[in-house]
Amino acid sequence: MTETILANATLVLPDRTHSGSLCLKDGRIAEIGAGTAVPPGAIDCGGDFLAPGLIELHTDNLERHIQPRPGVDWPHAAAIIAHDAELAGTGITTVFDAMRVGSISKGTEQGGDYAKYARGLASELLELRGQGALRISHFLHLRAEVCSETLIAELDEFTPEDRVGIVSLMDHTPGQRQFRDVSKLARYVMGKHGMSEAGFAEHVARLKGLRDTFGDAHEAAAVAVARRLGATLASHDDTTEEQVITSASYGIRLAEFPTTEEAARACHAYGIQVMMGAPNLIRGGSHSGNVAARDLAEAGLLDIVSSDYVPAALLSAALMLGDIWDDMARGIATVTAAPARAAGLEDRGRLIPGARADLIRFTRAGATPVLRETWVQGRRVA
């Protein structure tokens, strides 16, 4: 057996923090001790915080590495390994890598098409995992794009062996949900893809037409595939109580980024956990003009945090919530225990005997976390 003792630490336990030590054996937490003593051979943490490794349910970070600039397709193995190392370096020990499923054939302007990529990228990621090339634990998060042409065929390419942990229903029809204000969508799409006003108008019309033609069938297929794969089914950008009622009817228990307080309150009324983005919390609001994560936190309506597009934001947001609530354990739980429960991972997310030894060691420079070490199954990876 391999044994490591981390001593003289401030342990972030499920309901409190206190000085203590962890004994790690064969990738698990074997014992939890109290006090500041440092036994011979132990690692002296010097009072630093020890918390569970962070669990990320929704991040676009892999896509950013695959396509660092519009039209640039980076070598995938190198991109996956760099993405994995970046997450380890921010304290994330389990990630559900978001991949879009559902494509649109080439439009008349740059930016009017969305090419298929998820199946191939997933296979490359899983192959690297099988080779032991990755530092942290990877699962797949399939973003099922309702406004597409090929969603059903692409979903059918995945099997229960593919580690699909989450399937989310993504309805980006202009004029509702995230982009109720079409002008904000215009700034985003036209700026990202260099699209003209005429091209954007055509793009909007095309998406609305796809929703009218395929939307209901695509939603039903995504719900069925999530069940077939044994994955958590999530909604995305719920805005109204009616949309939340529909989510609940599908058996959804995780809501990604509800855009209004009305929707967040309805989620809690129907037993659906609310996940918000760390960038929203840290920046003080949504870049799309939707509800502020801080407002939901102060109203008791925020359960889980996702780094979304800034991996380093995850730990910062958890500490910020701990300060808002005056309860660090509660803040850390939004990025550890709560996402683990939402994804059905009972073996991680808490410092308890028997749990996976996925850990982070950090201190604070004022409000900013300073990550010292990341451990996965008792092995230091960053």
Query: 342: helix, coil or strand?
Result: helix
266-319 tens-digit pLDDT: 999 999 999 999 999 999 988 777 899 999 999 999 999 999 999 999 999 999
Interstrand relation of 273-277 and 28-34 (parallel, antiparallel or unpaired): unpaired
- The full DSSP string for 183-243 is HHHHHHHHHHHT--HHHHHHHHHHHHHHHHHHHHHHHHHHHHHHHHHTPEEEEES--SHHH
216-253 tens-digit pLDDT: 889 999 999 999 999 999 999 999 999 999 999 999 99
Give the domains, in start order, of the chain with CATH numbers: 53-349 (3.20.20.140)
Lowest average pLDDT, out of 33-37, 144-148, 269-273, 346-350, goes to 144-148
What percent of the chain is predicted at pLDDT more than 90? 79
- Residue 158, C-beta contacts closer than 8 angstroms, at least 6 positions apart: 119, 122, 140, 142, 164, 225, 229
